[in-house]
Amino acid sequence: MKKNWPLWEIFVRSKNGLEHRHFGSLHAADAEMAMENARDVYTRRNEGVSIWVVESKNITASNPADNGEMFEPAQDKVYRHPTFYDLPDEVKHM
Amino acid sequence: MSEKEVKNLEEIFEARIARDEKIEPKDWMPEKYRKTHIRQISQHAHSEIVGMLPEGNWITRAPSLRRKAALLAKVQDEAGHGLYLYSACETLGISRDELYEQLHSGKAKYSSIFNYPTITWADMGAIGWLVDGAAIINQVPLCNTSFGPYARAMVRVCKEESFHQRQGFEIMLTLCRGSEEQKAMAQDALNRWWWPSLMMLGPTDAESIHTEQSMKWKLKRKSNDELRQQFIDQTVPQADLLGLTIPDPDLKFNEETGSYDFGEIDWDEFWQVVKGHGPCNKERMDARVNAWNNGEWVRDAAMAHAEKNEKRKVAKAS
Ligand SMILES: [Fe+2]
Ligand SMILES: [Fe+2]
């Protein structure tokens, strides 16, 4: 038999109050093993208080080739930023 | 894609790196960039994994529980470093199995230093102090390399390395403050590991083929000779502190350059070891290949178990 262990993406919350952040990936036969391995590989020095494991194939990623149509339209929408609006200096707390 | 289009993309790509932008796995990249990175990152990963073997040799014989716990933690870190790096390498579109296959067939190299034997406990001190010390010098500049996953892996690796070097130096210090025999043991270890540690930083600049391209891609930020000089300059005062003698009669501080001049490195020995004729090349490779082959049924069983569980879950849900 020859079937490779699938790849898992590991997300770690470093402390309560912070979001889970992508830490890296690893191979494991199932979610339980991915969790155990993630603990050993990514949290040997108190780096986390919570771990998410997601099989890599379940992630849909945007394609950098589409970055133009995906992200460029936001560039000319300066009116979404507070600095776009001209107010007299006398206006305080705004 | 036409040749002109590729050329155009390459120019945009090189300009991004020159601006200090990072390259991420799904970005377009020249084939040569991909190949060079697969080679360097995998070679680095293999070195971490094979590097566990010389030190693993002493875990059961560490002189105290404190030393044993520290050595075990260090070796475990090296396994972790290997895993970070293999993962980074796989994002370039090569599988873990292919990477192992390249190591086991001898197609891929690993650091020549791990082909030397660890014959006394003092070798654990010398390795931590010198080999991890040289590795740190090599690795710190890579935290800023252009390929995102490699840079991120190196940041994590570098954070963990400083404990490795300190625990090694502490072993040396303890031996040097001990009995005559213990100090002699430390000196003997330094005698055997000094030159291979200098070689570990790579061939001289005149002999080094990849440097210019690697500099552009930030795979390398300083030349081998510069790194070697940096290593010598920072290590000699540490040896003085231990009261040990560096085994190089030509070693001498140069007032003009502010650096140490040093003797001729035996590059024949280096190339012999690289080509597979070092004292432990065969032993290391056998240990690796046996571990992989003997573990196959375990990996298969784990996979079969996972699949069975999955089926059971699906059956229950329906
Ligand atoms: Fe390491
Ligand atoms: Fe290390």
pLDDT at residue number B5:
87
Mind telling me how many Å the CA of B300 is from chain A's nearest CA?
Answer: 7
Q: Do B24 and A26 touch (CB under 8 A)?
A: no
Q: Is residue A12 part of a domain?
A: yes
pLDDT at residue number B1:
76
Q: Do A63 and B80 touch (CB under 8 A)?
A: no
- Per CB-CB distance under 8 Å, the chain A contacts of B306 are 29-30, 33
pLDDT at residue number B206:
83
Could you say which of A30, A44, A65 has the minimum Cβ distance to residue B309? A30
Name the domain count of chain A: 1
Q: Is residue A21 part of a domain?
A: yes
- Confidence band, pLDDT 50/70/90 cuts, at residue B124: very high
Mind telling me how many Å the CA of B1 is from chain A's nearest CA?
Answer: 14
Q: Which residue of A has its CA nearest to B159?
A: A45
Q: Is residue A52 part of a domain?
A: yes
Quick check: pTM over 0.80? yes
Per the prediction, chain B carries an average pLDDT of 95
Q: Is residue A50 part of a domain?
A: yes
Range of the domain at A12: 7-58+65-80
Mutation site, B81, B89, B155, B303, interface A, largest A CB count within 10 A:
B303
**For the CA of B162, the nearest ligand:** 2
Q: What percent of chain B has pLDDT over 90?
A: 91
Ligand 1 mean position, distance from CA B162 (Å): 10
- Confidence band, pLDDT 50/70/90 cuts, at residue B210: low
Could you say which of B73, B152, B299 has the minimum Cβ distance to residue A5? B299
Q: Is residue A92 part of a domain?
A: no
Q: Is the pLDDT of residue B282 over 90?
A: yes
- Per CB-CB distance under 8 Å, the chain A contacts of B153 are 24
ipTM of the complex: 0.89
Q: Is residue A40 part of a domain?
A: yes
- Confidence band, pLDDT 50/70/90 cuts, at residue B202: very high
CATH of the domain at A13: 3.10.20.520
Could you say which of A5, A41, A65 has the minimum Cβ distance to residue B83? A41
- Confidence band, pLDDT 50/70/90 cuts, at residue B156: very high
Tens of pLDDT along B24-43? 999 999 999 999 999 999 99
**For the CA of B74, the nearest ligand:** 2
Q: Is residue A48 part of a domain?
A: yes
Q: Is residue A93 part of a domain?
A: no
Q: Is the pLDDT of residue B77 over 60?
A: yes
**For the CA of B154, the nearest ligand:** 1
Q: What percent of chain B has pLDDT over 70?
A: 99
* DSSP line for chain B: --HHHHHHHHHHHHHHHHTTPPB-TTS---HHHHHHHHHHHHHHHHHHHHTHHHHHTTGGG-SSHHHHHHHHHHHHHHHHHHHHHHHHHHTTS--HHHHHHHHHTTSS---GGGGS---STHHHHHIIIIIHHHHHHHHGGGGG-SBHHHHHHHHHHHHHHHHHHHHHHHHHHHHHTS-HHHHHHHHHHHHHHHHHHHHHT-S-TTT-SSHHHHHHTTS-SS-HHHHHHHHHHHHHHHHHHHT---S-TT-EEETTTTEEE-----HHHHHHIIIIISTTHHHHHHHHHHHHHHTHHHHHHHHHHHHHHHHHHHHHH-
